[in-house]
Chains A and B, each alone.
Chain A
Amino acid sequence: MTIEEMCDALRAKFGADGLTPDTRFGDLTITVRKDRLLDIVATLRNDPTLAFDQLLDVVAVDNLKRQPQGTDAHEYDEDERFEVIYIFNSTSHSHRIRIKVILPEDQPALPTMVGLYKSANWGEREVYDLMGIHFTDHPNLKRILTHYKFEGHALRKDYPVDREQWLDETEPLIDELLLQLKQSQVEVRLEGP
């Protein structure tokens, strides 16, 4: 399916309103509204002509200091502080799409995609850890790459690159273990000394 056909198929399903396609560098990126995200992604996955069976990555971009130069000059304000980009791939049709959601500076949050793609679990955890974007209903929204007592979100543009934090406590990790036990339906109890 070519990029134009994919755009047309999505427009036919969801209407042109709130779907902004971008085909720069020959890749298709569609910017969608936050409230329609899960709906559109479910269609991308389940429609046999689209069949996006893999969520390859979740990327977050902080637009705080972004001032594009050249033809597409654009000012980013507080309502466009963050962008979250989901990269999808279809192994059966060998085509790709990116879905972008723009989030405001104040309490950025998105619904989780774990119910649709299992790779969203770690992908969203990373975005939460490094950019501080919340994913509602995520089963285990914890920090993943930085220490569990790390303060701030390292990839935000207002996090100074030379800020150091001394963190040497080992994470107990028992809460995650209990979660795993609960998921595999093994009932356990903690007994004191």
Chain B
Amino acid sequence: MTTSTADVVLPPVDELKHMTLVRVEDDEELMLVNLGPAHPATHGTLRILAALSGEKIIASAVEIGYLHRGFEKMVEQGTYMQVIPYTDRLNYNSALMNNHGYCKAVERMMEVTIPDRARVMRIILSEMSRIIDHLICLGAALVDLGALTNFWYFFNSREHVYTIIEKVCGARLTTSHSRIGGLMRDAYDGFEDDVIEWLDGMEKAREEVLGLILNNRIFIDRTRGISIVDRESALSYGYTGPCLRASGVAYDLRKAQPYDGYEAFDFDIPIGSNGDNYDRLMVRFEEIPESAKIMRQAIDQLKPGPIIVDDARVRFPKKQDVYFKIESMVNQFELVFKGIQVPAGEIYDFTEAANGELGFYIVSDGSGRPYRIKVRPPCYYIFGNYTEMVENQLIADAMTTLGTVNIIAGELDR
């Protein structure tokens, strides 16, 4: 059943196809344009139907769900551990952060404190993911403006990170690196040096890109004052992350409601003042060195130690013990077949992901399988405001706006 929206009676679709939309005020025929679902500038599968007068968008409607894979239904079928690979596919640009966010939520329900090395590793990898997420967002947004060179500078750096991630966990995009209670695998020898070397290269790439765009007339004209989101509507629409900060709200979960020991790090929160496309891009540009700052401090804190908590409720026993000790064998069997036994109750836990607040609402009935998991993807609520953002803007700028809010179809549609 679909509920009819406007109180207009629409003719059948077959007739509708041949009809035209005319503005009463000046008898101008509005042109209807479908953008997507497979338009290159949508960076995924979205559909936007826009009514145009000349090049100006008079009104638009969006349709999402083309990438809906039933994440929330699928995770109810398996154990808590089997959810981790699904979380990779939410925001696939920064999969490590999704792994961490989910594991952190379950750890809070289990009242497990992860070892120090695992915690610091998570911070390093999360900040690394935040940087590469921003790099792809900025690179792609600049391509939408016709500036292709920047994209290569950033992708060169991003490629370097993927090599590091591949060495850490064996996969490039779908990492599944966190485990409930810690991490899957420790860092390899020379991880710290690789990260520092990459950071230096990345910061150079950022400088080069800034050098190309900061005084660029085209970039400034096409981003300043476009698609302004003021403070009130950003809050009301549930904006979080860089888009909220671009609208002038100095709110970052790492500072405001710190988790994982972020309060011990020295970093700043860049904010914008206008909430336009320029601010949304620049906040991301400025967040990159702040994340790098956290990473450099975290690398100094990284001390040898265990990477997963020694708690038989959550971690797999050593392979050696599984073969030769009956308790460990039973432990392994129970964890695989029955899953981690999470106490009954409900929890909402959040992390500051690259796009904003990534939240997991988990309902447990005390068994080894999650009863219900609801993800709060940051860009879902940001995209809810899109039609308002692009109203009375040029159609070419609507594409830039889509780039600056960084819509990731994987987490938008789940």
Contact = CB atoms under 8 A, between A and B. Distances in A.
Interface of A: 24-25, 27, 29, 53-57, 59, 61-62, 66-72, 85, 87, 89, 91, 94, 96, 98, 117-119, 121-123, 126, 130, 139-149, 154-155, 159, 161, 171-182, 184, 186-193
A160 to B, nearest CB: 10
B63 interface: yes
A187 B25 contact: yes
A187 B19 contact: no
13 contacts: A24-B347, A27-B348, A54-B238, A72-B344, A87-B359, A144-B64, A154-B70, A174-B49, A180-B61, A187-B25, A188-B30, A189-B22, A190-B16
A67 B365 contact: yes
Contact of A186 (B18, B25, B72, B244): B25
B30 A91 contact: no
B374 A57 contact: yes
Given A62-B372, A172-B13, A118 B61 contact: no
Nearest to B72: A155
Interface string B335-371: 0000000011111100000000101010101110001
Nearest to A151: B1
Interface stretch (B160-168, B318-326, B379-387, B396-404): B379-387
Interface string B49-80: 10100000011110111001010111011000
Chain B interface category by residue count: 35 or more
Contacts of B391: 180, 184
Interface in B158-185: none
B237 A182 contact: no
B251 A91 contact: yes
B296 interface: no
B59 A66 contact: no
| Interface secondary structure of B, over-half rule | mixed
Interface in B6-28: 6, 8, 10-11, 13, 15-16, 18-25
A69 B22 contact: no
A100 B319 CA distance: 44
A181 B59 CA distance: 6
A27 to B, nearest CB: 6
Contact of B233 (A56, A57, A118): A118
B327 to A, nearest CB: 23
Given A70-B366, A193-B18, 16 more contacts: A27-B348, A53-B235, A57-B381, A61-B372, A68-B365, A98-B348, A119-B384, A122-B381, A142-B3, A173-B49, A184-B59, A188-B22, A188-B24, A189-B24, A190-B16, A190-B20
Interface in B62-108: 63-65, 68, 70, 72-74, 76-77, 108
A141 B3 contact: yes
A181 B58 contact: yes
Contact of B47 (A27, A173, A184, A191): A173
A87 B350 CA distance: 11
B5 A140 contact: yes
B2 interface: yes
B2 A154 contact: no
A72 B345 contact: yes
A27 B347 contact: yes
A91 B30 CA distance: 41
B346 to A, nearest CB: 7
A179 B3 CA distance: 13
Contact of B21 (A72, A172, A175, A190): A190
A119 B381 contact: yes
